[in-house]
Amino acid sequence: METVPQNSSLPRPAADPAADFNADPGQPGLNPAPHKYGGVGLWLRDLLVSAAASVLIITFLYQPVRVEGTSMLPRLEDRDRLFINKFVYRFTAIERGDVVVFHYPRDPDKSYIKRVIALPGDSLRIDHGQVWLNGKPLREKYVPEEYRDSRSVEEIVVPEDCYFMMGDHRSISSDSREFGPVDRSLIYGKAAFVYWPAQDAGVVR
């Protein structure tokens, strides 16, 4: 399992025409009794199909990862396990507020998980912890007051095909305030669902 530092029903078989065979024309047709193992066989078949489908979905669509660190508190805690969607951005655009996983720009062998704050072409500045986006203060309900800081960043325009990332725990997060906007090519998944531990389970927003 990769770690990400924060710094429908089957169709029924066709009826067997021999099932209504009647040796005595004077008696109603008699269907043979089902084989005693038929129900178990169907159950096992459905179980195997479901398991195979689950493996394919996880392998090619979702990827399990483990969070390391606390820069995405309060939603993501250290050692949380979650699924990331690896294909969603092939069909939809990256949006502000998405929690994404990307290769760390200074060391592509490492992965970070952060929140998208600004998109390509956006004007951004940070004044003592307050993010200003395109000339307006950004409301960030996902950042509790106790996790804010007083850092400032001079105004920039996010370059084409790049995204400005920040952790929700602003006072300890290593993010685009340090290493700059992240190139689109480095982003490879969107955080979808925490599955462990049970008390943290749920959709990532």
Domain definitions of the chain by residue range: 60-203
Average pLDDT over residues 48-52: 81
Question: Which pLDDT belongs to residue 37?
Answer: 54
Q: State the chain's mean pLDDT as an integer.
A: 85
Distance spanning both ends of the chain, measured CA to CA: 22
Residues known to be catalytic: 71, 114
| H-helix or E-strand spanning residue 69 | none
**What confidence score (pLDDT) does residue 164 get?**
98
5: pLDDT strictly greater than 80:
no
Q: What average pLDDT score do residues 14-21 get?
A: 40
Q: What is the pLDDT of residue 12?
A: 41
Over range 174-191, report the average pLDDT.
97
Looking at the structure, give the CATH architecture of the domain made up of residues 60-203. Ribbon (2.10)
**Contact assessment for residue 70 and residue 7, using Cβ atoms and an 8 Å cutoff:** no
Q: What is the mean pLDDT of residues 171-194?
A: 97
User: Per the structure block, which two tokens stand in for 165?
Assistant: 């990332």
